[in-house]
Structure 1
């Protein structure tokens, strides 16, 4: 599961990092509380070039009669992505990278309260989540949407949640984007335990309306 992100890298730095041509419709950054159905930064391959643009976070299958015509598909399970009717074409030909500074997961306390955790790269680098995308058209208007690919969590992250995003290492970006032939399926695995760090943050982030850099500050005990 991955249901909330933080993105703090400026657009020009993001374009340079991924060697991508930026669009003019990019979401505002920094955003420490990126939520499903909003627009997210996405890198995909367009011909011989990489593009950096915005897509709706929430994959819309082509048969949906409305964007909310079925389940909200923000994640696609690596174990079944090649077989699911909603995802199987996209995982072959429409793979993308979804950059983030970190993401949130939740545990429950003894009273059932939801305690948020912020998960990030230990070296503070930008994470690149494996994603898939799809164009969906209704009444002549096209929405480009995406989902984050998830897999079973590594031992460290499983203390918080049993699933985690598939994180693509820089040396594998080209393979995931389809620039280096076949073999992308081998990348759909959990990141090494030592790659990620995590800490508790304030419950303020439990609201999808919360904003600001304080959302990713370590909780003071």
Structure 2
């Protein structure tokens, strides 16, 4: 099952946490079942300002003929970045922060897949490390699209899935959005933003499997 995540925050919360100085689009409603291909909020740095835009979740190559060429490019494993010229270029100069309340993972056995929701123990908003591109459509419109960076799961998440998004602590936001170039070998400094004790993993309702379901009940823990 494809990865999904949750966005739940007020406009002021996002602007304060990420020090947003400019916004181009209408703000976003809370979404408890975000899937690849969706429009999502993300923050990038342009002209010295932190800007909040709507991004397509799925990285569209700048030389793509159609927007659909971004399908499938919704995540990028940090171990494989050096194999892809587009990803290296985006990592070097086009990085973004993807606000998230948490993310879903499914524990798969021979009999079934069980959904889990991973969040900060404090229940605060966090940021997923992202890279982005700007693709110009046939109508001349700039389309911002992004992919999440993923890494090996930590000891807390590993029993559910062997991969997880790269989560960035607020102390790392400035470095991530800095103008200096970042290479794949530099990513190690961002992989321990949070301790295992900062996170919570909770089993949640299988209602999340149905994309028509989208409400706060989806992230409520199911008692063991």
Deviation at 1:209, TM superposition (A): 2.1
Q: Deviations over 1:26-56 (max 9, x none)?
A: 4532211111111111011112211112101
Q: Deviations over 1:149-176 (max 9, x none)?
A: 1111111111111111111111111111
For 1:186, the equivalent position in structure 2 comes to 188
Structure 1 unmatched ranges of 5 or more: none
Residues 26 and 38 from structure 1, CA distance in 2 versus in 1: closer, same or farther, beyond 3 angstroms? farther
Residues 71 and 39 from structure 1, CA distance in 2 versus in 1: closer, same or farther, beyond 3 angstroms? closer
Q: Do 1:26 and 1:41's aligned partners in 2 also have CA atoms closer than 8 Å?
A: no
For 1:215, the equivalent position in structure 2 comes to 218
Superposition TM-score, scaled by structure 2 size: 0.89
1:30 and 2:30 are equivalent in the alignment: yes
Q: Deviations over 1:152-207 (max 9, x none)?
A: 11111111111111111111111111157768523342542112111111111012
Residues 150 and 122 from structure 1, CA distance in 2 versus in 1: closer, same or farther, beyond 3 angstroms? same
**Which residues in structure 2 correspond to 1:37-186 (within 5 Å)?**
37-69=37-69, 71-111=71-111, 113-139=112-138, 140-179=140-179, 185-186=187-188
Structure 2 unmatched ranges of 5 or more: none
Report the more deviating stretch, 143-152 or 60-69: 60-69
The alignment of Structure 1 onto Structure 2 pairs a total of residues equal to 220
User: Partners in 1 of 2:141 and 2:46 — Cα distance?
Assistant: 20
Q: Do 2:93 and 2:182's aligned partners in 1 also have CA atoms closer than 8 Å?
A: no
For 1:203, the equivalent position in structure 2 comes to 206
Superposition TM-score, scaled by structure 1 size: 0.90
Name the structure where helix makes up a greater proportion of residues: 2
User: Partners in 1 of 2:103 and 2:145 — Cα distance?
Assistant: 19
